[in-house]
Amino acid sequence: MSKLHRPLGTLSDDADPVRLTPDTAGWRYSGLRVLSLAPGEVRILHTGEFEAFVLPLSGSATVRVDGQVFELRGRDSVFTRVTDFAYVPREAEVELSTTDGLEVALPMARCTRRLDAKYGPAEDVPVEVRGAGQATRQVTNFGVPGVWDHADKLNACELITPGGNWSSYPPHKHDEATECEVVNEEIYYFRIAGRDGVTPSREGFGLHRTYTADGELDEDVAVRDHDVFLIPRGYHGPCVAAPGYPMYYLNVLAGPAEERSMAFCDDPAHSWVRDTWAAQDLDPRCPVTSHEGLVQ
């Protein structure tokens, strides 16, 4: 069994789908929690040595932290719109509440600086279409350097890959401090839409590949809704959405660099593929979501 692929049920023993710390991942910085709150439920969290984003996956949330209150307008699912989010600092008590029910992700990073809590409106989040042809995908850059600079170590973004398309391609890595890359531990958290293309379901699936040049890591796995894959090192990609089943994943990255960066290097054997995109059309299904709702 893969130590890097963590299927649903292996990272939590309660109703919350994911509890991943750097210790349980086997590294130093990146972590992730995914919480499920019933209608009217209130949850108190303590961030400890971690900074985090509060990112609704479905439903809306009220966040109370450091004397501030943030009303996060969420979404029906990750396949319907871009969501509001919040940044919460280390050493904070965070109260989450919801009126109608909530599923929320907390991408986390172990850090040393304590920053102020901050609200991130959906309208300020850039939505990028990347690639071309069957490698067309949407990237929602809510928590990346240059867009969101209010973090110490934490980087995060969302990707949506239409059914039948490839993303995280060409394969790339970020496990060395070189001219083209920085060291980052990365988490992939997958949601897979069911037959309606909107509602997450364990019925659908996708594929993910991670490998190293020396062959020490060489994994090709099927991923389903709520699965997690860990990238401690090596090239990763592609992620392939099975036809009929759009794929979402949340990327969480953090590492030792003094300044946040998501710089990477392609696998030189496959970087030529980027040059072919100029002659290909974009998949008209992208962008899949906007700030207001479903595009198509």
Whether residue 192 lies inside any domain: the answer is yes
pLDDT digits (tens, 9 = 90+) for 145-166: 999 999 999 999 999 999 999 9
Q: Are strands 218-223 and 155-161 parallel, antiparallel or unpaired?
A: unpaired
- Interval 62-69 mean pLDDT: 98
Q: What's the CATH number where 130 sits?
A: 2.60.120.10
Q: Is residue 278 part of a domain?
A: no
pLDDT at 1 over 80: no
pLDDT of 296 > 50? The answer is no
Average pLDDT of 51-63? 98
* Statement: residue 245 has pLDDT above 60: yes
Would you call 169 exposed, middle or buried from its count of C-beta atoms within 10 A (0-12, 13-18, 19+)?
Answer: buried
Specify if 281 maps to a domain: no
- What does the pLDDT look like over 166-213, one tens digit per residue? 999 999 999 999 999 999 999 999 999 999 999 999 999 999 999 999
Task: Count structural domains, the chain.
Answer: 1
- Residue 176 resides in a domain: yes
What is the mean predicted confidence (pLDDT) over 92-110?
98
pLDDT, residue 294, reads 58
Rounded Cα distance, 110 and 24, in Å: 13
Share of the chain above pLDDT 70, in %: 98
What's residue 143's pLDDT? 98
The mean pLDDT value for 14-21 works out to 93
pLDDT in tens, 213-237: 999 999 999 999 999 999 999 999 9
pLDDT of 13 reads 80
- Residue 280 included in any domain: no
Q: Is the pLDDT of residue 295 over 60?
A: no
The pLDDT of residue 2 is 76
Measured between alpha carbons, how far is 50 from 108 in angstroms, rounded to an integer?
Answer: 6
| Owner of token pair 């990609």 | 237
């060409």: which residue's tokens?
Answer: 170
Using alpha carbons only, give the angle 180, 186, 192 rounded to the nearest 5 degrees.
125
- Which residues form the domain of 60? 3-272
State the chain's mean pLDDT as an integer. Answer: 96
Residue 248 resides in a domain: yes
Inside any domain, residue 163: yes
Task: Give the Cβ contact number of residue 76 at 10 Å.
Answer: 13
Assess if residue 277 is contained within a domain.
Answer: no
